[in-house]
Structure 1
Amino acid sequence: MDLGIDRQALVPVVQQIVSAVAAWIREGGVSPGTRLPSIRQLARDNLLSQSNVIEACERMVAQGLLASRQGSGFFVAEQPAASDPQHECQWYEGAEQGWGSFTDNPLGELTLGCGWLPDTWRESDDISYAIREVTRTNTAGLFSYSTPLGLPALREQLLKRLTHIHIGTSADRILTTQGASHAQDLLIRTLLKAGDRVVVESPGYGNLYRLLAFHGVTLLEVPRTRGGPDIPALEMLLRVHRPKCLFINSLYHNPTGTSLSLAVAERLLQLAQAQDFFIIEEDVYGDLQHATCTRLSALPHKDRVIYVSSFSKTLSSALRVGYLTASTAIIEQLVKVKTLTGIGTSRFAEAVVATLLANGTYRKWVQRLRKRLSTEMAMTLQVLEDEEWEVFAVPAGGMFLWVRPGVGNCLQWQDKARKLGVLLSPGSLFSPTGEHNDWLRINVAYACDQRALALFKAMGPARSTSTVLKATGM
């Protein structure tokens, strides 16, 4: 069996073995009970160590792809009956608009504009190891609620991380949450009431818009430029409306991929002090940074900035671990709301993340992730340039591009994409009013898939869908 191992790839060898065997089972229609070649043979034929092959096979046993029989090797496992898709719904951005229609991908289309990493990129072994380590050494109270502020061991690690990126705080000013969305919800409940006005960036994160609207908060939109919020437009909004808060992405903005310039950051802090409003800075993609970047929280701000982040985008959305840091007075209020609305966060999940931070695993993983995303970003930008797509800005890092094709309109693009097996994230999802526009969010981690490449070509100038379908054999 030729596993096609690429030793120059950024994907670990063990993960490549898993993917190759899974593809062999899936695409070859291999029957349950079929015996795999021996560990020795697989290792010899593919110039691999037997330990790597054994580790990959054991991982596939855990995943239910293979079964192990003592003294007989590994066999293709019986696959469970397919679940009813109506009961296996996956969240995606924009699903909230339908309230209940949380799956719109029955044919397995490529989610080119989604906000997370592909499952094949994740290194589940590191998380599995951390889980085993936590359950082995920290059994006392492990499955109870965490402390009101969050697990002390995790907050200690978070303090080190925040210090490393020049955000001055202390452990008693750090609050853990169930992801960044939970942090935002706590802040909205604590700082705002129905009828209050806030400023949001446009384009921006659609789920935040809907969360604010759910709480009866009025949204004032300020255009996002390549260097941050449009300052003249913001100054006009401040003079007329006196908003309570500004919600902002400083680094690798969702969806444009842009980062805050120092000049804009300094002016924002001046305005926050003069006009008496808080800035809520979400930084869930900040760990992906390559170059020196500007965070509002890292500048002198006299407690005007509240910093929010999480590990959902870079590590695992399933763990649901996020955090924020704010003034002591605000933290005291947030603890009360957190306890009232959810009692507490998961001690177990927080212990797993604390372990990954403490043993250096997370740092090494993020370094590999940055390198891989940088490669995918460069390749995607080159393809888009070749096909004459417009790019809003060339990001310094992260995973998003804000782009639009050279021809056609939004409805035509959606139709072409579905015919090519691709789901798009149109600009309307990132507008506070849901207004249609010509822009699309692209996640570069998915952009080198053959379906995406066919789409980029199809939506280039002077090309028809039929031409591209014929060229790709579809």
Structure 2
Amino acid sequence: MGRVDEIVTQIAGQIASGQFLAGQKLPSVRIGAAQYGVSKNTMAEAYDRLVARGMLLSRQGSGYYVTGHLPVAPPPPRPDVTEASGIVSLLREQLEQHYETRPGDGRPPASWTEGSKLRRFMARGRSAAADVQYGYGSSWGLAALRGWLRLSMAERSIPVEADGVMLTSGINHGFDLIIRHMLEPGDTVFVDSPGYYPLFAKLRLAKVTMVPIRRLMDGPDLEDLAAKLAIWRPKMFFTQSQGHNPTGGGLSPAVAFGLMKLADAHDFRIVEDDAFADLHPTSLPRLAALGQQRRVLYVGSFSKTLSASLRCGYVAGTPEIIRGLVDLKMITTVATSAHVERLVIDLIDSGQYLKHLRRLRVRMEEGTKTTIRAFAELGIELAAPKVPGFYLWAPLPEGTDERAFCRAAAEANIFVAPAAEFRPDRDHSSAPGMRVNVAYGADPRFQAFLRQQLQR
């Protein structure tokens, strides 16, 4: 806690306890600074924070006076919000970044874009030179980028009608719209396990029942899926086709066809997450490409391939569903950022996006090889994905206490992503493991920590 916070807390406590009464003038900034042993600027900031809280009133030329108003305690958080926010502890660390060594991170490091022209292009703000529109923009998103997406998806054999794609503020925004529009409290959905943990938080917040489907390196376990379908009637199955987060696996043609066959037989929709589509060959299997657009909602993003700060994604599906999602987007957020969307299409049109993707693929391939090699030297065999991505799944020795492992890593200033965080029930008793970002997997500090843990 800084000095300003300490002073604010102390004075607020004195007001609450009655040591300073309503209407009473507080010591001047100069006197207060001397009393607390701080600069006048520090003291003035403390008083200003108390004014912002409604506890003091500033009278120009006179000083600061107690208002007599005490801050109202915030209402206790709803249990479902508390539970949902607990699930995204990994996401919180990725936003706030307390740890130096980051094998558990979900993003590649900024250095992976250094040396390319992408950063310099974005810094110039080329799109800012374009005609600036001061209105909201269309709730569908920038027409030029939507048109490019239709062409891009056609290369993956995914047919999309003109009004069958909308832009979002990233994949999580797309998930949020789909959940709000198409699910009700008490509905049942299937999810990958291990799978994408921010999705679990959203579903829990919506009071939707999640049923885990075992995820293998070639896609969802069809035997487990069939067994669960004998018990449950899911409304949807949320799954990721390629570059699976967290296992790094993909989707084989056999599993893709088997999954679609079960979806037809049991009449449930599929939400296909393809966040890394632009990094993977267009020939890889996609569920939305199997002539079943009416059954599949296809969700993608530029935030993973460009920058997490560029919140830009999309949802594709039947025009009827997309129109409903656009209406919901209009009600909740009005529109997405046309400036961000214009920057993305400028990067594409200039050829910088393609150059960036080529460089990123090389980085992923090198990171995957070095990480697998480093773990092999420790006696841990990692399953190599057919197509390199951002992640690998690292099993830990049977009997490893994941909580203790995470605490030890934190003490060593290392951020890890344990297996339990990627399960809907956050079960720490199942097979221990962790997601490893290939950019950091061979980091000497991380490898030294693992070697020490394995020798115990």
TM range, normalised to the smaller chain? 0.7 to 0.9
Identify the residue that residue 433 of structure 1 maps to in structure 2.
Answer: 425
Moved more, 395-404 or 422-431: 395-404
**1:347-358 equivalence runs, <5 A:** 347-358=338-349
Say if 2:449 is the partner of 1:455.
yes
Q: Which residue of 1 aligns with 2:129?
A: 136
Report what 1:445 is aligned to.
439
* Contact preservation (8 Å) 2:87, 2:197: no
Q: Is the 8 A contact 1:421 1:451 kept in 2?
A: no
- Larger mean Cα displacement after TM superposition, 443-452 or 96-105: 96-105
Rounded Cα–Cα distance in structure 2 between residues aligned with 1:364 and 1:435: 41
Aligned amino acid, residue 126 of structure 1: L
CA distance in 2: counterparts of 1:296 and 1:169, whole angstroms: 14
Determine the structure 2 residue equivalent to 1:166.
Answer: 157
Aligned partners of 2:385 and 2:255: how far apart in 1? Answer: 18
C-alpha distance in 2 between matches for 1:416 and 1:99: 20
1:216–1:95 CA distance, 2 compared to 1 (3 A): closer
| Alpha-carbon offset, residue 418 of structure 1 | 3.0
Is the CA contact 1:403–1:442 (under 8 Å) kept in the aligned structure 2? yes
Give the Cα–Cα distance (whole angstroms) in 2 for the partners of residues 392 and 413 of structure 1: 22
Aligned residue for 2:26? Answer: none
Q: Does 1:154 align with 2:145?
A: yes
C-alpha distance in 2 between matches for 1:168 and 1:156: 12
Distance in 1 between residues matched to 2:292 and 2:371, nearest whole Å: 37
- What is the total number of aligned residue pairs between the two structures? 368
* C-alpha distance in structure 1 between counterparts of 2:373 and 2:87, whole Å: 36
Give the whole-Å Cα distance in 2 for the aligned partners of 1:98 and 1:432: 9
Match of 1:96 among 75, 82, 85: 85
Give the conservation status (yes or no) of the 8 Å contact 1:127–1:352: no
- Aligned amino acid, residue 427 of structure 1: A
| AA aligned opposite 1:439 | G
**Higher gyration radius (CA):** 2
Residues 295 and 108 of structure 1: is their aligned pair in 2 closer, same or farther, counting only changes over 3 Å? same
Q: Deviations over 1:113-172 (max 9, x none)?
A: 111111222348525535632122322x1x432312110011112122112222111332
Return the alpha-carbon distance in structure 2 between the equivalents of residues 135 and 121 of structure 1. 25
Contact 2:156–2:282 (CA<8 Å) still a contact in 1? no
What percent identity do the matched residue pairs reach? 34
TM-score relative to the length of structure 2? 0.76
Name the counterpart of 2:185: 194
Rounded to whole Å, the distance in 1 between the matches of 2:275 and 2:131 is: 28
Q: Normalising by structure 1, what TM-score?
A: 0.73
1:238 aligns with 2:229: yes
The equivalent residue for 2:220 is: 229
Pick one of 297, 311, 327 that aligns with 1:336: 327
Cα distance, 1:416 vs. partner?
3.6
1:458 partner letter: Q
8 A Cα contact 1:393 1:402, kept in partner: no
SS of match in other structure, 1:349: helix
Partner Cα distance (1:208, 1:311) in 2: 18
Report 1:14-413 matches (<5 A): 96-97=85-86, 102-103=92-93, 108-123=99-114, 126=118, 129-130=121-122, 132-139=125-132, 141=133, 143-289=134-280, 292-406=283-397, 408-413=400-405
SS for the counterpart of 2:167 is: strand
The residue that corresponds to 2:415 in the other structure is 423
The answer for unaligned runs of 5 or more in structure 2 is 1-82
Structure 1 residue runs of 4 or more that deviate by more than 4 Å after TM superposition: 98-101, 103-107
**8 A Cα contact 1:198 1:246, kept in partner:** yes
Equivalent-residue separation in structure 2 for 1:110 and 1:237 (angstroms): 39
Quote how far apart the aligned CAs of 1:98 are.
7.6
Query: Are the equivalent residues in 1 in contact too, given 2:215–2:221 (CA < 8 A)?
Result: yes
Deviations 1:95-117 (A, max 9, x none): 93188994597753312111111
> 5+ residue gaps in structure 1?
1-93, 465-474
